[in-house]
């Protein structure tokens, strides 16, 4: 099941899109303006974004440029009433993967979303991080984007979970201190403060352990020092 973010200020269209895509089997989160969408994208992992350009607070084109810099290859489709060639070119040049003009047919929208998600799941993994995970599987993490696979199954990781797991995998067998993690998290606007970082880190370690429970990967606590990632036979 894919997790989609719909960013649309028209409440009727927003609700209709949510209902249609949820009925097609997707998990759907909605935002009514660009700033709300930006905040959601910092906190949650999305498989794709459907984005209107004419948004209040933070316009769609600015959000698109920010998202492309922040999340790299995150699939983004523009849904807008702006249908002239200059608007299409501007949107695609800013980083959109597809562009659908309003009004549109819901069947076409669903087909385009399915194609967009299908292309994004082809795991090229240039510069990926890998570690054996037991049962003939690999744990693979993209080195630049918040994407990870356990075998053929995509892991649902938040930005901070991916950053923490990437650090542990890259330094497998070594002890990672809390200070190491805070240094990785320091550019995250939602990252915990240093004062509260210890408890927050334990929460994220617990989440990763749960998501890796079917593998032979273990994240162990080294008392007084930090954490280390190990693979058991």
* Tokens encoding 88: 């299409």
Residue ranges covered by each domain of the chain: 3-120, 129-231
pLDDT digits (tens, 9 = 90+) for 165-206: 988 988 888 898 888 888 777 655 444 544 445 578 899 999
Q: What is the pLDDT of residue 126?
A: 42
Q: What is the pLDDT of residue 128?
A: 58
Architecture of domain 129-231: Orthogonal Bundle (1.10)
Tell me which residue of 33, 42, 37 sits closest to 190, measured CA to CA.
Answer: 42
CA distance 17 to 106: 8
Task: Report pTM.
Answer: 0.55
CA distance 37 to 35: 5
CB atoms within 10 A of CB 22: 12
Q: Domain 3-120 carries which CATH code? A: 3.40.50.2300
pLDDT digits (tens, 9 = 90+) for 81-124: 877 778 788 888 888 888 888 888 999 999 989 888 876 654 44
């Amino acid at each position: 099941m894919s997790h989609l973010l719909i960013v649309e200020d028209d409440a009727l269209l927003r609700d209709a899109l949510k209902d249609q895509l949820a009925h097609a089997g997707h998990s759907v989160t909605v935002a009514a303006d660009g700033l709300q969408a930006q905040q959601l994208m910092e906190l949650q992992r999305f498989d794709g974004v459907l984005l209107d350009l004419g948004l209040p607070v933070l316009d769609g084109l600015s959000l698109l440029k920010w998202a492309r810099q922040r999340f790299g290859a995150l699939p983004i489709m523009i849904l807008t009433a702006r249908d002239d060639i200059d608007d299409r070119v501007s949107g695609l040049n800013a980083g959109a993967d597809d562009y659908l003009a309003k009004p549109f047919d819901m069947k076409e929208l669903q087909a385009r979303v399915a194609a967009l998600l299908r292309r994004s799941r082809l795991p090229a993994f240039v510069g990926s991080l890998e570690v054996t995970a037991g049962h003939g599987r690999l744990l693979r993490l993209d080195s630049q984007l918040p994407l990870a696979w356990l075998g053929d199954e995509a892991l649902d990781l938040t930005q901070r979970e991916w950053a923490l797991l990437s650090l542990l995998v890259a330094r497998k067998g070594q002890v990672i201190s809390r200070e190491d993690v805070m240094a990785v998290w320091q550019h995250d606007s939602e990252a915990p403060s240093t004062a509260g970082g210890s408890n927050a880190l334990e929460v994220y370690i617990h989440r990763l352990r749960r998501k890796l429970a079917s593998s032979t990967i273990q994240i162990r606590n080294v008392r007084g020092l930090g954490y280390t990632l190990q693979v058991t036979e």
